[in-house]
Amino acid sequence: MTQNIRQSVDGDGIAVLLIDVVDRPMNVATPEFLRQLESCVDQLAGNPSVRGVIVASAKSSFMAGADIKDMASMFERGITAAEATQFSANLNRIFRRLETCGKPFAAAINGVALGAGFELALACHYRVLADEPKAGVGFPEVKIGLLPGAGGTQRLPRLIGVAEALRVMTEGTQLGPADALRLGVVHEIAPATEIVERARRWSLGSPDAIQPWDRKGFRVPGGAGMSTPAAAQAFMAGTSLTARATMRNYPAPLAILTVVYEGTQVPIDTGLRIESQQFGRLLAGPVARNLMRTMFVNKGQADKLARRPVGPPKTQVRRLGVLGAGMMGAGLAHVSAAAGMEVVLLDSTVDLAAKGRDHARQQLAREVERGRRTQQEANSVLERIRPTASFTDLADCELVIEAVFENRETKAGVTGQAEAVIAPTAVLASNTSTLPISGLAQASKRPAQFIGIHFFSPVEKMPLVEIIVGKKTSEETLARALDYVAQLRKTPIVVNDSRGFYTSRCFGTFLYEGMQMLAEGVIPALIENSARMAGMPVGPLAVADEVTIDLQWKVIRQAQEDLGKRFQRPISYDVVRRFVEELKRPGRRFGAGFYDYPAGGRKRLWPALASVYAPAAKQPDAAEVGMRLLHVQALEATRCMEEGVVTTAAEADLGSILGWGFPAWTGGALTYVDTIGVREFVADCDRLAKRHGRRFKPSRWLRARAAAGQAFHAAPMSPAA
């Protein structure tokens, strides 16, 4: 018996290794667990009274995979590719020892087996999976910039064929019980209460079990390499499709194709060495570091409310008020009701409020159709949304969020009406995306209980919420806002007040730069395609249409009114004004913008753009356009750090990826700067400033960081517990 594995042997000589990794909610392959597993295998292999071994779990799931916290910390220790290769080779040695030690091993998989947990199961000679909705197997490594590094790239294609194995690994999808059985990934599915007994029954009858790939004359199902049309097609099409999907910004999918192609044409031990070499290259590279640090470590901390003030007691919103039943308000009502809250959805008329509830009805109907909810559950959610036109219905709400038109006077009006009826302890929040919270709080009689809670559209899909602290916002109000976001299971970042805050301010530079390029004569298709090649989900002109050029014009004019002589025109001012006021093409919602939106057809760039902004004789290359678009966003993120709008690099990175779609491969806007190197980034910006204008000119503060070699992520990572 060991600390992480409980071992027992029954009267028939069947041993059970019960995995229970200490101090972890789910089993993960920690270095200590692996050492103990190797010791158990050696001990059982040398015990003649043991006839077979069952690997099972004492927790609610089998194993979540390798210890990502440990891998993430390797970067801070300066891991080399050779050391990372050895990390994978050690895993392969242990699992290879397990499957060749002479004892039959069976895996009783009671929940999910992911990553290294799935690889452990594949190293066993027999697999029984619980026939439960939450059970499943898969390789999610590609999502953190890695490939399966404990034999997965070699065992899975040898088990189910190249094409299916590549799909499972490059998509990072989880196979449910039925699909796992259909593909031959597991041998049986059974009720969770029976899986250990089923594994035991097989063990008693299979004393001489051997893996298929260790039998003489073994061939990969369907062929390997270019030996058969099916395998050749999988590699040729897979390489092309993967390159197009990733724009070659993510090395892991192509590395998986390489390892499977090379490794399945040689004996498995050679294939495992090839896998370890590629895994080491990825693990020591910047993309895996960036993805793990931001999307696992830092996101985990944010989800656990790392920025929540310690003093205020934990709260829960039971009754929420939403002012405005438009797209944002309706989405807010839906997600809040789905989280169990009673929602009062208010608009100027009951019919408009009811129309907002209909949005939730439509969303819920899709969930029922797709099997994500029962009709009874959908009905319960809908019943929790109460449409109204009366402010008195807000009386019992603990939190009220206004999501009305982006106009200071309109917001001030509903603020006063809401405060006249809500309880003295209630919090009032604004969902504004650009207007300073401290300015909006001037319409409140209780500014300490006024805060910004900025959601992103569509609310149901976007995972980020930007919490904006005004000058007078109290710590208790901040804590209550964060508690509400936690109820929704979304990821919060906390920023200080500023026009545009953090996300809208930085995102705006992407739109404005794209429009400026258009005005300079850069071909529109080059702008859009270069943005996608750099990793942005869509081009700046398409995004401008989606959020509407009209809205940008309203935001610009509101800023002009608020700031007076201090107002500085954004570089896109003339383009925005021209499209809204002269060309009458204010965006997709109005049927026309930078793109045309033909009825029943796909959108396309407006053909007349070339007559409005004539293409320049000399065009930049795609790499230059992409760098210009990413650098302008990252530079604005550094300014937000300098000004204290965003106070941690971790939140700046999360906000950029989850909020406005900055490429995930970069790790976020500030990690992007760190990956390039602060000195080189400043030099790039100086070159861009000479070519394109002062907006690219680095500040003295950033130059000082560059001179000192001070990265934004200088401190060691503190992985989420």
pLDDT in tens, 144-201: 999 999 999 999 999 999 999 999 999 998 999 999 999 999 999 999 999 999 999 9
Q: How many residues can be counted in the chain? A: 721
Q: What's the pLDDT score for residue 583?
A: 95
In a domain, 585, yes or no: yes
Residue 165, classed as helix, strand or coil, is: helix
Q: Are 140 and 174 in contact (CB under 8 A)?
A: yes
- Give the pLDDT mean for 532-547: 95
Q: What's the pLDDT score for residue 253?
A: 93
Asked whether residue 417 falls in the same domain as residue 564, the answer is no
Where among 499, 514, 529 does a domain terminate? 499
Domain at 63, CATH number: 3.90.226.10
The backbone torsions φ and ψ at residue 31, rounded to the nearest 5 degrees and listed phi first, read -55, -40
Where among 499, 518, 535 does a domain terminate? 499
Which tens digits make up the pLDDT trace of 658-711?
999 999 999 999 999 999 999 999 999 999 999 999 999 999 999 999 999 999
Asked whether residue 93 falls in the same domain as residue 126, the answer is yes
Q: What's the pLDDT score for residue 563?
A: 86
Q: Which residue do the tokens 């590719």 mark?
A: 81
Integer Cα distance of 334 and 300 in angstroms: 25
Q: What's the pLDDT score for residue 611?
A: 94
Band of pLDDT at residue 207, cut at 50, 70 and 90:
confident
Q: Are 332 and 321 in contact (CB under 8 A)?
A: no
Which tens digits make up the pLDDT trace of 285-307?
999 999 999 999 899 999 999 99
Domain at 702, CATH number: 1.10.1040.50
Over 70: is that where the pLDDT of 432 sits? yes
Q: What's the pLDDT score for residue 718?
A: 36
Q: Are 660 and 544 in contact (CB under 8 A)?
A: no
Average pLDDT of the residues of the chain: 93
Asked whether residue 98 falls in the same domain as residue 27, the answer is yes
Distances (CA, A) of 147 to 71, 253, 589: 13, 8, 42
Which tens digits make up the pLDDT trace of 364-387?
999 999 988 999 999 999 999 999
Which tens digits make up the pLDDT trace of 499-530?
889 999 999 999 999 999 999 999 999 999 99
Where among 440, 470, 499 does a domain terminate? 499
Q: Which runs of consecutive H residues, i.e. helices, occur in 306-369?
A: 327-338, 350-369
Band of pLDDT at residue 230, cut at 50, 70 and 90:
confident
Asked whether residue 462 falls in the same domain as residue 567, the answer is no
Asked whether residue 557 falls in the same domain as residue 484, the answer is no
Copy the structure tokens of residue 710.
Answer: 């001070």
Q: What's the pLDDT score for residue 2?
A: 61
Q: What's the pLDDT score for residue 244?
A: 74
Element (H, E) at 346: strand 342-346
Over 60: is that where the pLDDT of 715 sits? no
Q: Using alpha carbons only, what angle is made at residue 247 by residues 241 and 250, rounded to the nearest 5 degrees?
A: 95
Asked whether residue 163 falls in the same domain as residue 72, the answer is yes
Asked whether residue 405 falls in the same domain as residue 480, the answer is yes
In a domain, 699, yes or no: yes
Band of pLDDT at residue 72, cut at 50, 70 and 90:
confident
In a domain, 293, yes or no: no
Domain at 489, CATH number: 3.40.50.720
Which tens digits make up the pLDDT trace of 553-602?
988 888 888 888 888 888 999 999 999 999 999 999 899 999 999 988 89
Closest listed residue to residue 440, CA positions, set 427, 422, 456, 428: 428
Which tens digits make up the pLDDT trace of 593-611?
999 999 888 999 999 999 9
Asked whether residue 475 falls in the same domain as residue 534, the answer is no
Over 90: is that where the pLDDT of 71 sits? no
Q: Are 115 and 139 in contact (CB under 8 A)?
A: yes
Higher local confidence (pLDDT), 241 or 431: 431
Which tens digits make up the pLDDT trace of 327-345?
999 999 999 999 999 999 9
Q: What's the pLDDT score for residue 314?
A: 96
In a domain, 483, yes or no: yes
Distances (CA, A) of 66 to 113, 114, 147, 181, 587: 11, 9, 12, 24, 47
**Is the dihedral angle over the CA atoms 29, 30, 33, 37 positive or is it negative?**
positive
Band of pLDDT at residue 241, cut at 50, 70 and 90:
confident
Asked whether residue 66 falls in the same domain as residue 198, the answer is yes
Band of pLDDT at residue 719, cut at 50, 70 and 90:
very low
In a domain, 338, yes or no: yes
For 266, other C-beta atoms within 10 Å of its C-beta total: 15
Peptide bond into 458 cis (omega under 30): yes
In a domain, 720, yes or no: no
Asked whether residue 237 falls in the same domain as residue 374, the answer is no
Integer Cα distance of 563 and 42 in angstroms: 74
For 129, other C-beta atoms within 10 Å of its C-beta total: 32
Asked whether residue 577 falls in the same domain as residue 640, the answer is yes
Integer Cα distance of 470 and 60 in angstroms: 43
For 499, other C-beta atoms within 10 Å of its C-beta total: 16
Residue 78, Cα to own-chain centre: how many angstroms? Answer: 26
In a domain, 491, yes or no: yes
Over 70: is that where the pLDDT of 531 sits? yes
Q: Are 357 and 371 in contact (CB under 8 A)?
A: no
Q: Which domain holds residue 371?
A: 319-499
Hey, which residues are catalytic here?
Answer: 454
Which tens digits make up the pLDDT trace of 266-290?
999 999 999 999 999 999 999 999 9
pTM confidence score: 0.90
Higher local confidence (pLDDT), 714 or 337: 337
Distances (CA, A) of 674 to 17, 306, 429, 664, 679: 44, 23, 35, 14, 9
Asked whether residue 516 falls in the same domain as residue 371, the answer is no
In a domain, 299, yes or no: no
Distances (CA, A) of 446 to 221, 449, 484, 515, 633: 70, 6, 19, 41, 35
Q: What's the pLDDT score for residue 720?
A: 34
Residue 522, classed as helix, strand or coil, is: coil
Q: What is the DSSP annotation of 92-137?
A: HHHHHHHHHSSS-EEEEE-SEEETHHHHHHHHSSEEEEE--TT-EE
How many domains is the chain partitioned into structurally? 3
